[in-house]
Chains A and B, each alone.
Chain A
């Protein structure tokens, strides 16, 4: 796998919501009544979305990855959102949470609330729980609304997540 190639893509319907503090399904409806499925993340509490996949066989051993969160605001047209990403290799007891530490990145809202912003969270292989090709993994994405930087007072809407080899 070459640098910048896509390793996985996740859409809102692929969410495996935690039992608590979960991002909620929503729709953004365009002027012709056609929908964009999104996941809403609150401004008042940290909420999470989880996605699972298997790392492709052509993932370069120990390569860093980028988790790219595509998002928009429900109504805001300015401000900053703090996104976090955590990876868990599928080589541990399924009954025990073993996500690696959260990595974060800030993104700036577009001046039009319906226009998405792409925020890239960079993870070394170690920060990605030392994931290897062929391994199942879980990706936990959250909005860290109390990061001190996140200052958007309303919901933000996740539209897609892409993992690329960095």
Chain B
């Protein structure tokens, strides 16, 4: 069950952020109800700023071609769009990779990579994460549609790693040592990686989740072997997790 935002008065924010500068990667699945409005799917922003400092991952429906857009802003703005766009009512994977203050990229469905090299310096003022909104002082550019499997890494994922995410692998499967925020959004709204609390505004609802492949432990069913005296050995729990 993904989280379904109405585009009006519904979003989630944290009270801190584990990343404030590049390198970083932001990714999620989304299923937008609108191909005409620009919607911020995920943001790292400054809660008392009126809009001058942030990183965003956007479904830019108001832009020709409806690309995935990333913006790095701290005074100047580095803006990059994927080279193809999304379709309303379908699940797509969105990703932004910020390798440095002069290198950033936007992807849709693991490809259509757009790049930008505008110099945008880092800011330590970034202090919260927004889901379904640009989490500046007054949350804005709200999402109208579903969001799921939001991950933020403190590293720049490679093109191949972004493709793995778009093929359906959970963020937990892709460079997990750099994954600092992960909200699956399967009904519950939790950062299961960093433990940040996500506070809801409005009452976002739940809807069908996206396709996703989670990491799992193999279950090996042990062979029952005879113990001394001819009685079967007892297997506790019916299986061994390895």
Chain A interface (Cβ < 8 Å from any Cβ of B): 1-2, 5-11, 13-19, 22, 24-27, 29, 35, 37, 40, 42, 56-58
Contact = CB atoms under 8 A, between A and B. Distances in A.
A40 B213 contact: no
Q: Which 10 A-B pairs have the closest CB atoms?
A: A24-B209, A13-B214, A13-B216, A17-B211, A27-B187, A14-B216, A9-B219, A24-B208, A26-B1, A6-B221
Given A14-B216, A26-B187, A9 B221 contact: yes
Nearest to B209: A24
Contacts, number: 64
What interface size band does chain B fall in?
20 to 34
Interface string B169-180: 000000000000
Contact of A27 (B186, B215, B238, B239): B186
Contacts of A58: 223
Contacts of B223: 1, 56-58
- Prevailing SS type, chain B contact patch: loop
B239 A9 contact: yes
B211 A27 contact: no
B15 interface: no
Nearest to A17: B211
B213 A15 contact: yes
A27 B1 contact: yes
B99 interface: no
Nearest to A155: B208
A7 B221 contact: yes
B224 interface: yes
B188 A24 contact: no
B88 interface: no
Given A9-B239, A26-B209, A40-B1, 20 more contacts: A5-B221, A6-B221, A8-B221, A9-B219, A9-B221, A14-B214, A17-B168, A17-B211, A17-B213, A22-B211, A25-B209, A26-B1, A26-B186, A27-B1, A27-B187, A27-B188, A29-B187, A35-B188, A37-B186, A40-B209
B120 interface: no
9 contacts: A7-B221, A8-B221, A9-B219, A18-B211, A25-B1, A25-B209, A25-B212, A26-B187, A27-B1
A6 B238 contact: yes
Given A11-B216, A13-B216, A17-B168, A56 B221 contact: yes
Contacts of B186: 25-27, 37
